[in-house]
Amino acid sequence: MSKLRVLCAAAVLACSANFASAGEDTRVYVAHLLGGHELPVAGDPNAFGVATLVITLPAQVCYSIVLRSPVAATAAHVHAGGGGRRAALFLPCR
């Protein structure tokens, strides 16, 4: 298992343990990030990473972003919809 996957798995477990309790609905989303797939303009083709988002209803969100990139990230956010197309901004990550 790659180092990125281990780090993200640990983050998911930590988030789930902190936020999920009996009777709550928890959903986990994982996105594989590739700089060359950034829209509308492709980013660094050598950049990659994994983002994990844990949503525990009614109103708790935990996220982890692990990147491998020659340049620093300038922003992080979640879009509604699937990969490969532009979609509305759903959640800014601060």
Cβ neighbours of residue 57 closer than 8 Å, sequence gap 6 or more: 24, 25, 26, 27
Amino acid 81: pLDDT: 74
Amino acid 28: pLDDT: 92
Amino acid 18: pLDDT: 52
Cβ neighbours of residue 6 closer than 8 Å, sequence gap 6 or more: none
pLDDT, averaged per 10 consecutive residues of the chain (94 residues), comes to 44 49 76 81 85 89 88 78 75 78
Distance CA 17, CA 5 (A): 18
Residue-wise pLDDT tens digits, 21-30: 545 799 998 9
User: For the chain, which residues make up each domain, given as ranges?
Assistant: 3-92
